[in-house]
Amino acid sequence: MKGNRRSKTFSYVPISVWAGIIVLAGSDGCLGAQYSLAPGDTVEVSVGGAPEQRNRAQIQIDGTIALPGVGTVPVAGLTPSELQTRMETLLQSRILRQRSPDGREQALVIKPGDVITSVVEYRPIYVTGDVLTPGQLVYRASMTVRQAVAVAGGFSLLRSRGQIGAIDPADLLRDYQSLSTEYIKEYIHVIRTNAELQGNDSFDQKIPSEVSLPASVIESIMQSEAASLKTAQIDYRKERSFLEDAVRQSDAQLVTLRKQQDGEEKGVQADEDELDRVAKLFGAGSLPSPRVTESRRALLLSSTRRLQTTVEVMRLQRQRDEFLRQIERVANQRTINLLRELKDSTVRMADLRVKLQALSQKLQPVGGVGALPVGTSDLRAEVTIARKVGQQWNRIVASVDFDVEPGDVVEVSLRPSGVASASN
């Protein structure tokens, strides 16, 4: 029952529909057997069984190709199948002599089935208008307008103003993005430097609106500068804390030594008084001379200790002053370095801003849309194909999925959706 139902279903299909299906199945992409060869196409003619008999030739402006042993053959206007037939007719029954691997010479009679022809390279197509890199493109089989525009860099209002010798717009865009990245780096570095000068551990992460970069790039630069600020602040604070601790230790030692110095000063004074008393008693004959000698020795010893303590106090005082000077020097040098970085980054920012403005002028929209801002998404593409048929050029209004043919000129215009086309 199922088989009968299927056969009935197919029996209802009209013969004309079957014919259309057969034609579509037999066609070869956008060109198929209807494509006519023209100057600029490159064809290849080979003979099966004779690898050395493979000749490739470009159709000249007069519509002919030159083949060894045959001469000039007119082929322009022929379809690929007609080219095959013509080459079979020209080469059949010709005798080729070739050597076998053992060195013997063999004769090969060309039969029609031995001849193989093919189109190995088509004429280029040309894309102009609102694409990034207008110009000549290599044609590929079944190429559509969308594919041709993609090879030309995509739809774009940004392109070089010049013609001959103009810089590639892709290079301009690359330079613009590179300069934008450098500008953002310097901008964030300036903000970070100001924060470090003010002793802050964080900085404002607001980005100027006139420069557009991917969020991931900006975030990476922000994180790098934030980590650098944190490291610099920690390092400076550690160094300052170390020097301040040294000053505090010196102060504590000075307090101890000054107390010791005061005690030794009193000891020296006591020894001097004792020596005076002993000297008077010795002069009166009440004490022997050894007692005087002991008093003098005691005074000398206490004076020596006082001198040593005084020297140590002076050394510690000088060391303390050096620590204080080093704290001041570290702070001043840090400020000088940060101000130098700030100045250099500000100068570089100004230079980059000038370069960005110059590049943005080169990348301004040119064409029929006037000052349409870059990045406008409410645009529609108008495509016109200029195709030569015989000796006449025809203009075809096409969609982006229209199949192009070798030699076509694809004209692209981007217009706001509410603006009528020039043809209207």
Segments of 48-174 assigned E as strands? 50-58, 64-67, 71-74, 95-99, 105-109, 115-121, 125-129, 135-137
Per-residue pLDDT, averaged over 72-85, amounts to 90
pLDDT confidence band for 156 (50 / 70 / 90): confident
CATH of domain 169-364: 1.20.1270
Q: Which two tokens stand for residue 207?
A: 């980005």
Instruction: Please report, for residues 5, 87, 274, 305, 331, the alpha-carbon distance to residue 317 in angstroms, rounded to integers and kept in the order given.
Output: 115, 109, 33, 18, 21
Distance CA(268)–CA(261), nearest Å, equals 10
Please list the residue range(s) of the chain that carry CATH number 3.30.1950.10. 41-121
Encode pLDDT of 305-343 as tens digits: 989 999 999 999 999 999 999 999 999 999 999 999 999
In this prediction, residue 402 has a pLDDT band, given cuts at 50, 70 and 90, of: very high
Confidence of residue 363 (pLDDT cuts 50, 70, 90): low
Structural contact between residues 63 and 75, judged by C-beta atoms closer than 8 angstroms: yes
Number of residues assigned to the chain? 424
pLDDT at 135 over 80: yes
Contact between 331 and 240 (Cβ < 8 Å): yes
Mean pLDDT of 188-217: 86
Torsion on CA atoms 207, 213, 216, 219, rounded to nearest 10 = -20
Q: Which of 133-147, 195-209, 220-234, 326-340 has the lowest mean pLDDT?
A: 195-209
Task: Please say if the pLDDT value at position 9 is more than 60.
Answer: no
More confident residue, 241 or 114: 241
In the chain, % helix, strand, coil (3-state, to 5) comes to 50, 20, 30
Which residues contact residue 291 at a Cβ distance below 8 angstroms, ignoring those fewer than 6 apart?
A: 278, 282
Q: Name the region of 202 (left: φ>0; alpha: ψ -120 to 50; beta: rest).
A: beta
Looking at the DSSP bridge assignments, the partners of residue 96 are 108
Global pTM value: 0.48
pLDDT-derived band at 101, boundaries 50, 70, 90: low
Q: How confident is the model at residue 7 (pLDDT cuts 50, 70, 90)?
A: very low
Burial grade of 414 (CB within 10 A; 0-12, 13-18, 19 or more): buried
Percent of the chain with pLDDT over 70: 79
Residue 384, CB-side half-sphere exposure with 13 Å CA sphere: 13
Whole-number Å distance between alpha carbons of 235 and 34: 79
- Residues carrying CATH 3.10.560.10, the chain: 125-162+377-416
Place of tokens 């390092």: 235
CATH of domain 41-121: 3.30.1950.10
Pairwise CA distance, residues 143 & 39, whole Å: 20
Q: How confident is the model at residue 27 (pLDDT cuts 50, 70, 90)?
A: very low
User: What is the CATH architecture of 125-162+377-416?
Assistant: Roll (3.10)
Residue 47 to residue 119: CA distance in whole angstroms: 15
Paired tokens of 357: 């403005």
Between 392 and 94, name the one with better pLDDT. 392
> What is the CB neighbour count within 10 angstroms for residue 106?
10
* Integer Cα distance of 179 and 175 in angstroms: 6
pLDDT, tens digit, for every residue of 232-288? 999 999 999 999 999 999 999 999 999 998 998 898 898 888 888 888 888 887 778
Strand-strand pairing, 42-47 and 50-58? antiparallel
Write down the pLDDT at residue 169.
63
